[in-house]
A = this chain, B = another copy of it.
Amino acid sequence: MKDQSSKTLSSTQRAVRELRRMIVSGELAAGTDHLESELAQTLGMSRTPVREAALMLESRGLLEMRPRKGVRILPVSSEDMREIYDILTELESLAAQRAAEAGYSEQDLKVLERSIAQMDQAIETENLEAWAEADELFHQELVRLGRNHRIEAIVAMMSDQVRRARATTLFIRPLPVQSNEDHRAVLRAIQEGKANEARERHRQHRLQAKEVLCGILEKHRLNSL
């Protein structure tokens, strides 16, 4: 049994998790307004923990609290996407560099290897959801290996903000074949301790991903996801 399920978590914590889930899944649609009292009723608790949760999610850039109008689920534009991908590019590249400098063993890099294998398989079977999940895992693990807690937090926050948009573009974009070659190259650089190569390779990988995704958004006029 997991720590989470064994421990009784507070209403505020439940509200944060549940609202976050509803937002990133699109259950609470981008651009929609929701009164605190509505959300409280939905979650089966009073306004107090809902407000506290909303404040936290506001800090994470997922929603906005506006007096009398309720909380507004923030939509993501292609401009937002560019901002976010720029940040991810810089911080993840540094993580890749640091990971390469750390001299990790093959054992330490097992999760990275596994996620790449999963992506390979997902591409073969054209299972896009599985690919997205493995891709997320790769990037998350890469950042973890960079050993900077604040970067982990920031990247997680930015990833949450673009999750809906990513899910949408997933079925429009071409099969991410190039992407996995990049992942392999980054991993190889880390294995060989080539910090600068790991950094630059990942950098290029992210820059390209940005152009692909933002290109799709702009082409399809998807400016509020």
Task: Using CB atoms and an 8 Å cutoff, list the residues of chain A in contact with chain B.
Answer: 51-52, 55-56, 59-61, 83-84, 86-87, 89-91, 93-94, 148-151, 154, 158
Contact = CB atoms under 8 A, between A and B. Distances in A.
Going nearest first, the 6 A-B pairs with the smallest beta carbon separation are A59-B59, A90-B90, A83-B148, A83-B150, A90-B94, A55-B55
A172 to B, nearest CB: 24
A64 to B, nearest CB: 13
A93 B131 CA distance: 32
20 contacts: A52-B52, A55-B55, A59-B59, A83-B148, A83-B149, A83-B150, A83-B151, A86-B94, A86-B148, A86-B151, A87-B91, A87-B148, A87-B150, A87-B151, A89-B94, A90-B90, A90-B91, A90-B93, A91-B91, A150-B158
Contacts of A60: 59
